[in-house]
Structure 1
């Protein structure tokens, strides 16, 4: 779940508790160029205050104007923008883009409470809303699911749909974990070294003192999983790579120079890994951004992970770096 959507739900709950009239607006379909994807949320208060975004600003102004002039729906309703070229231009939708939304009044927050409580436990849930009768429910969801709308029933997924396993609990790992959380990752850090685990202090993440290869097996890595080995200790990094490279994880990377990466691949070849499995290793890890500080290195690693997750060809790599052949990444949630 986009961290912005969680902010929207929290704000809707807070405004409702204050006795304000509140509406949620959800993007259900887009055509052409659209700045926000299906499932994106906006919360609208009766005086025109908003949190979240469904278009980047242009459509929001019209929604605010409607509420301020008394157009206040009391049941889930469909709204369409950009049906004609003139209307698309009026609302700033680029390239003739079209946008369909569902606007619904917040009449109780029990379902919001449930989503926030369950996602805080790292559960993945779906909110199902029938637009014909306004009835909704919250139920378990699967990582392969995304937002869906069949013309009557809207199904929105909330919670971390991606997992990241970080090996090593140093400064780089802390920054990386902090940045990964709002990018829809459930983060687990693994480091059996006592001098490191005592300093791990990243709220919202899991921590394990088990051996890395055991954690990989326990997590049962799937195509929505990323593994990042950054300890600089071959005894730990290589252990996780031996298991992770055989898994369906969409990304496996390890920190180290080109020469260290070459030596690591030589070591991995001594075990039961095929050349294709070894070739999946991203190393040296991250895109070539000229990174120096832990925060900059974390940005380069996450940029590469996001590119692989989105099926984008990696071109910003240092000459001589190992670049896995495309095909392991998912192109959607």
Structure 2
């Protein structure tokens, strides 16, 4: 799940702690073309305030109308199913393209303890399965893996929740600023490590969070996992290689380093001399990025983030740089 869905749950917890009634909606099934995929969430407060999204907007309007016209009684069932777009006319009315159909769970959140527990475990970088019993409204949280996916059998919704994807940048130079900005727009948590204090000036807090220490220490301190990408961008082998030695033996799903094909080959040779296994070295992406003819920092950042997102999403890379070298 992304941070938008985590924000939905944070709001649910905040509203319930304030004593307000909350309905939580989750997309469980879609047919045809639907605006949001299964797992998307929306929370509706008792005064009609919403956070999150389950469609392009028309379904959200109807959910609010259900609250105001009494179709959501306070003493109603804890969970029920709602379907939109059964007919083509209804699909058009609710903004579902190509005759799409959308099925939601409408869940009354009485006890928010599971919300607090889920958020706490996600912040600890756990992957969690939430099992919702539609007959009773009972919620059970279980440990899950990155291979688990949302399932729904008509009686139990099993949705997967996890920590945000993270990007650790080694180096706080100009290229890192472009990468950080794009990564944040793509919903990555951005971390920066650069022991060179001369490069820290001008970094506002919203660009990302600085991790203290040397690059290898930073890789260890953030407890690198399968939802972490690490990119060395200093162009200084004394710093970049220090990070790579640790990162390539970690569980990071992407490890890359800025440099031309010639420099990347030399870096691999140097990593081997430093004792890194060939299997670990083969994980290194360098030159970084997809081939889009990039020439300036903004274009290189776009190329890099396109590659990282493709790997995150399990897409086969078919557009690596052929022969042109990076600076």
Q: Same fold (TM over 0.5)?
A: yes
Report if aligned partners of 1:127, 1:136 keep a CA contact under 8 Å in 2: yes
For the aligned residues, what is the CA RMSD?
Answer: 3.8
Distance 1:299 1:151 in 2: 42
Which residue number in structure 1 is paired with residue 213 of structure 2?
209
Change (3 A) 1:53 1:125: same
The answer to whether 1:40 aligns with 2:40 is yes
1:79 corresponds, among 65, 68, 82, to: 82
The answer to whether 1:153 aligns with 2:156 is yes
Change (3 A) 1:50 1:255: same
Change (3 A) 1:15 1:269: closer
Task: Give secondary structure in 2 for the equivalent of 1:320.
Answer: coil
Larger displacement relative to structure 2 (246-255 or 66-75): 246-255
The answer to whether 1:128 aligns with 2:131 is yes
TM-score (norm 2): 0.76
Change (3 A) 1:4 1:134: same
The answer to whether 1:252 aligns with 2:248 is no
Which residue number in structure 1 is paired with residue 145 of structure 2?
142
Distance 2:252 2:307 in 1: 14
Which residue number in structure 2 is paired with residue 285 of structure 1?
288
Distance 1:197 1:140 in 2: 39
Task: Give secondary structure in 2 for the equivalent of 1:65.
Answer: helix
Task: Give secondary structure in 2 for the equivalent of 1:89.
Answer: helix
Task: Give secondary structure in 2 for the equivalent of 1:209.
Answer: coil
Deviations 1:39-75 (A, max 9, x none): 1111123444322111122322222232222110531
Q: What stretches of structure 1 of length at least 5 have no aligned partner? A: 323-333
Distance 2:209 2:130 in 1: 24
Change (3 A) 1:224 1:15: closer
Change (3 A) 1:27 1:303: same
Change (3 A) 1:178 1:109: farther
Which residue number in structure 2 is paired with residue 312 of structure 1?
315
Q: What stretches of structure 2 of length at least 5 have no aligned partner? A: none
Deviations 1:192-217 (A, max 9, x none): 557678998758857252552x6657
Aligned residue pairs: how many?
320
Task: Give secondary structure in 1 for the equivalent of 2:284.
Answer: coil
Which residue number in structure 1 is paired with residue 267 of structure 2?
264
Report if aligned partners of 2:79, 2:108 keep a CA contact under 8 Å in 1: yes
Change (3 A) 1:201 1:156: farther
Deviations 1:5-38 (A, max 9, x none): 1222233344445554321100112233222222
Change (3 A) 1:317 1:104: same
Distance 2:42 2:21 in 1: 14
- Give the Å deviation of 1:157: 3.3
Report if aligned partners of 1:188, 1:208 keep a CA contact under 8 Å in 2: no
Distance 2:275 2:189 in 1: 30
- Give the Å deviation of 1:304: 1.8
Distance 1:248 1:49 in 2: 40
- Give the Å deviation of 1:165: 3.8
Distance 1:179 1:100 in 2: 33
TM-score (norm 1): 0.75
- Give the Å deviation of 1:271: 6.1
Which residue number in structure 1 is paired with residue 241 of structure 2?
238
Distance 1:291 1:167 in 2: 21
